[in-house]
Amino acid sequence: MMGGLVILWTDALVFLLLLFVGAFGVYAAGKEHLRGPWRLVVRSRVGVSTLVILSFYVAVGLLDSVHFEPSYVADPQAQDRVQSTEVVSLFDRLVLPLRERQEKTYSAPLATHLYAKENIEQPGGTMIRDYPRLQYGGAHLANPAQDWAGDVLRLSLIGLVKGLVLTLVLANILFALLAPRRAGGFAGAAREVLTGKGQIPWRSALITLGLLLMVLLWAVELSGRYHLLGTDKVGEDVFYQALKSIRTGLLIGTLTTLVMLPAAILLGIMAGYFRGWVDDLIQYTYTTLNSIPGVLLIAAAILMLQIYMSNHADEFDSLVERADLRLLFLSIILGVTSWTGLCRLLRGESMKLHEVDYVQAAVAFGVGHFQIIVRHILPNVLHIVLITVVLDFSGLVLAEAVLSYVNIGVDPTMNSWGNMINSARLEMAREPVVWWSLLAAMIFMFTLVLSANLFSDVVRDAFDPRLRSSR
């Protein structure tokens, strides 16, 4: 813990993953067989559009993965400060107003009044039963009934115009960057981008970015004065919750893969390369693990974790740390249930590769097994690994929601779309219906999963030419 910085387990793994991706990028840049498919990805319109959206999610997730203790930052010299239990992230700091402006209980999106009637004391001392004003949402309006619509419209327009202007500025920067390498200079670059003629579909990327920025700035503008997506039972801003859930969703989707990759790659290649009893043993292991229904294995493991945690309650400094460990554990156990598919694929592929002439030649020259695997087999199965990782991601994000519903997902105190849906589900019976938490979680999840699905299709097509014809 340096300078108040808190590194949670999952944070560390996120940055490790980032390092991995960076290293892979550097490695792939020098290899034509890996660079070529990526070129196809960025030349596809769907590819660049989804990349823009995914980068937004990743950016929020990364900002949300830098944690620190606010009390330490505020006063690092305080000697007698008690062990602070509050840990916030850089992202929390960025959206501080969203986090701090808590209402009493439910309120609808953009509402100025609470959702339920309460007894309000009038200046004269009499009590009336009415919807009380919100403490923050629309508090600047003198007469909400009259001014509300105009104010929302005005703020929306400001937000949209800001987004548009920002997009135009970015577009011009792009033209300027492209200009030196284009025949027509700045105008030529602009023409190429706007007509969509270039090799890289900049136009699609710009349109997506423009829409994203407009929605984003619209949301920023409105959530400065209102609760854009309403508030939940304890009055927390739902928009804030949905944004915070991004990190959880991304972590489940990526950490699980990170955890399972070493085992899947190592065992898969070993089974296919060595065959014989090694193959039998590995096949036996994954068939056994695979036959246990995944949900039940996860349930059993989470039950055990709960017991462990309640027996060792004093080992955890803060709620955040506890929730974080549970998230990590969930990723690990999800990894255990999901590595078998990749392992089987890799086994088959390395079995084929073992028969290929250049591997046989290497064997004949007396090259060691380890070197053959690292030099000849591993590079040739990397595309399978990549395709699987990308394909699995969206399924894992969806799985998180289902697991949280069964109470074997992430910690109930952690922000996640699954938890949001789970708590919203109970409110569907209310009259009028509290629908906004559900809708917020669904929209955020749907956008991420849809982009990931489309992106993974593009990646798969680029890396696996055999499948291209059948799409």
Partner 1 sequence: MIAYIIRRVLYAIPILIGINILTFVLFFVVNSPDDMARMNLGMKRVTPEAVESWKAERGYDKPLLYNAARQGTAQLTDTIFFQKSLKLFQFEFGVSDSDRDIGYDISQRMWPSLAIAVPVLLVGLLVNITYALLIAFFRATYIDTWSVVLCVVMMSISGLFYIIGGQYLVSKLLHLVPISGYDTGFAAIKFLILPVLIGVVGGIGAGTRWYRTLFLEEINRDYVRTARAKGLSETVVLFRHVLKNAMIPILTGVVVVLPLLFMGSLITESFFGIPGLGSYTIDAINRQDFAIVRAMVFLGSVLYIIGLLLTDISYTLVDPRVRLS
Please report whether residue 295 would count as binding partner 1 according to CB under 8 A.
yes
Helix residue ranges per DSSP H, 312-377:
319-354, 357-364, 369-372
Stretch 397-416: interaction string toward partner 1, x if CB under 8 A: -x--xx--xxxx--------
What is residue 138's three-state secondary structure?
A: coil
Please report whether residue 299 would count as binding partner 1 according to CB under 8 A.
yes
Secondary-structure percent of the chain, ordered helix, strand, coil, rounded to 5: 70, 5, 25
Q: Which of 5, 21, 149, 300 binds partner 1 (CB under 8 A)?
A: 300
Shortest separation between residue 225's beta carbon and partner 1, angstroms: 30
Quick one: 132 or 294, whose CB is closer to partner 1?
Answer: 294
Please report whether residue 287 would count as binding partner 1 according to CB under 8 A.
yes
450 C-beta neighbours (distance < 10 Å), count = 13
Shortest separation between residue 275's beta carbon and partner 1, angstroms: 17
Quick one: 246 or 401, whose CB is closer to partner 1?
Answer: 401
CA angle 198, 451, 89 (to 5 degrees): 110
Q: Which of 293, 368, 379, 465 binds partner 1 (CB under 8 A)?
A: 293
How far apart (Å, rounded) are the C-alpha atoms in residues 375 and 78? Answer: 55
Q: Which of 77, 311, 355, 366 binds partner 1 (CB under 8 A)?
A: 311
Q: With the C-alpha atoms ordered 264, 267, 272, 276, is the resulting torsion angle positive or negative?
A: negative
Shortest separation between residue 229's beta carbon and partner 1, angstroms: 16
Stretch 357-396: interaction string toward partner 1, x if CB under 8 A: -------------------------------------x--
User: In the window 71-100, what residues touch partner 1 (CB under 8 A)?
Assistant: none
User: In the window 224-263, what residues touch partner 1 (CB under 8 A)?
Assistant: none
How far apart (Å, rounded) are the C-alpha atoms in residues 345 and 341? Answer: 6
Q: What does each C-alpha distance from 361 to 309, 346, 356 come to in angstroms?
A: 54, 21, 9
Shortest separation between residue 292's beta carbon and partner 1, angstroms: 5
Burial class (CB in 10 A: 0-12, 13-18, 19+), 331: buried
Stretch 436-455: interaction string toward partner 1, x if CB under 8 A: --x---x--xx--xx--xx-
What tokens does 278 get?
């090694």
Give per-residue burial for 229-239: e unless 16+ CB within 10 Å, then b.
bbbbeebbbbb
Please report whether residue 312 would count as binding partner 1 according to CB under 8 A.
no
Residue 385: closest CA among 354, 345, 352, 350: 345
Quick one: 132 or 348, whose CB is closer to partner 1?
Answer: 348
Residue range at the interface with partner 1 (CB under 8 A); choices 163-171, 236-244, 291-299, 364-372: 291-299
Q: Which residue has the tokens 């695979």?
A: 290
Compute, in degrees rounded to 10, the torsion defined by CA atoms 139, 145, 147, 148. 70
Q: Which of 165, 194, 296, 426 binds partner 1 (CB under 8 A)?
A: 296
Shortest separation between residue 148's beta carbon and partner 1, angstroms: 27
Q: Which of 73, 284, 315, 430 binds partner 1 (CB under 8 A)?
A: 284
Quick one: 106 or 286, whose CB is closer to partner 1?
Answer: 286
Please report whether residue 303 would count as binding partner 1 according to CB under 8 A.
yes
How far apart (Å, rounded) are the C-alpha atoms in residues 431 and 458? Answer: 44
Q: Applying CB under 8 A, what is the total number of residues that bind partner 1?
A: 44
315 C-beta neighbours (distance < 10 Å), count = 11
Calculate the CA 296 to chain-centre distance. Answer: 25
Please report whether residue 314 would count as binding partner 1 according to CB under 8 A.
no
Residues that bind partner 1 (CB under 8 A): 284, 287-293, 295-297, 299-301, 303-304, 306-307, 310-311, 394, 398, 401-402, 405-408, 421, 425, 428, 433, 438, 442, 445-446, 449-450, 453-454, 457, 469-471
